[in-house]
Amino acid sequence: MRFDRTPLLIGAILVALLAGGPFLPQWAMFMVTIAIARGLVALGLMLLLRAGLVSFGQALYYCLGAYAAGALGRFFGISDIFAQMLAGAAAAGLVAFILGFLLAKYRGIFFGLLSLALSMILYGLLVKNEALGSTDGFNILPSTLFGIRPGPDWVRYAVFASAAVVALLLALAVHRYLRTPLGRLAPAIKDNEIRVEYMGASARHAVHVMYVIAAVLAGVGGALAATTVGHIDPDMAFWTTSGEFIFITILAGTGSVVAPFAGALLYGVIHTTAYDLSPNTWQLSLGAALLLIIVFLPEGLWSLFRRRVSHS
């Protein structure tokens, strides 16, 4: 059996991040943390993409995760970062479990559009809800770690480190999942669903499970993003946010569980560079950059690494 390099890669990245973190300038640490949060959502999307499904409404769970984490602080005064992530995961997972009964039956563009409609309904509900601040949203308490409130210099690192640990553990878990029979069903569903049914497996069940996993990942990502940015608003459920995640997923490619994080980081860099260099035409720069990447790197970012590996 081929040697599985991915856990090694994950471990190496984790060590690098944790060790190098304190030396990073704060703004860079912020960007990496956001990339980790977005990468988690993209990881879930990657999972669905392997089965041929694209969710245009993943922002639904991202937003739910964020609001769950925020609600913990606002209504219960809890600000422990792991509790926040857990709340995000739970809220997203629960909703996905319920909605999955409906969505697991859809394929192709209709899966995408129905998920879009659902995320926009959440958006509408949140905008109408003045108790939660409507479009202005509300701020979230800074995270504490196991009851300790880190000092202002360390709170960023604490969030960053927790994010890195949780995210990479989740990535490892997803990687393992993809090697299980249920996980391996994904590309089979993409290729020929009817044959999958003939083999005795339930495509619907597999899709439902994948959908919930993807939602949980997005929920954790949302909670992380909320505590990093410090603010939660309904925009997190808007279709343009979903669009960003899809872009990151396609950018990254489906080659490895680490790819979505790299893609998210690249997206963040491109976005910020566009703002910096062309404040009056950043949309053009962003669109052009993304177009170039899609055209010249059709397999996503990760194909750069894969090509090298296969040549050796």
Residues binding another protein (CB under 8 A): 25-27, 30-31, 34, 54, 102, 105-106, 108-110, 112-114, 116-118, 120-121, 123-125, 127-128, 130, 133-139, 152, 192, 194, 225, 229-231, 233, 235-236, 239-241, 243, 246-247, 250, 268, 271-272, 275-276, 279-284, 286-288, 290-291, 294-295, 298
Nearer to another protein, 109 or 169 (CB): 109
Write out the two tokens for 143: 């995270």
Query: What is the rounded CA–CA span in Å between residue 96 and residue 42?
Result: 16
Nearer to another protein, 97 or 138 (CB): 138
| In the complex, least distance from residue 10 CB atom to another protein, rounded to whole angstroms | 25
Nearer to another protein, 175 or 263 (CB): 263
| In the complex, least distance from residue 176 CB atom to another protein, rounded to whole angstroms | 27
> Is residue 51 within 8 Å of residue 189, measured between CB atoms?
yes
Write out the two tokens for 52: 């041929």
User: 283 CB contacts (<8 Å, ≥6 apart)?
Assistant: 274
| In the complex, least distance from residue 279 CB atom to another protein, rounded to whole angstroms | 5
> Is residue 174 within 8 Å of residue 257, measured between CB atoms?
yes
| In the complex, least distance from residue 1 CB atom to another protein, rounded to whole angstroms | 31
Nearer to another protein, 48 or 83 (CB): 48
DSSP character string of 68-108: HHHHHHHHH---BHHHHHHHHHHHHHHHHHHHHHHHTT--H
Nearer to another protein, 9 or 188 (CB): 188
Q: Rounded to 5 degrees, what are φ and ψ at 139?
A: -90, 155
Residue 312 CB-density burial (10 A; 0-12 exposed, 13-18 middle, 19+ buried):
exposed
Query: What is the rounded CA–CA span in Å between residue 290 and residue 276?
Result: 17
Nearer to another protein, 7 or 142 (CB): 142
| In the complex, least distance from residue 9 CB atom to another protein, rounded to whole angstroms | 26
| In the complex, least distance from residue 229 CB atom to another protein, rounded to whole angstroms | 5
Q: Within 13 A of 199's CA, how many CA atoms are on the CB side? A: 13
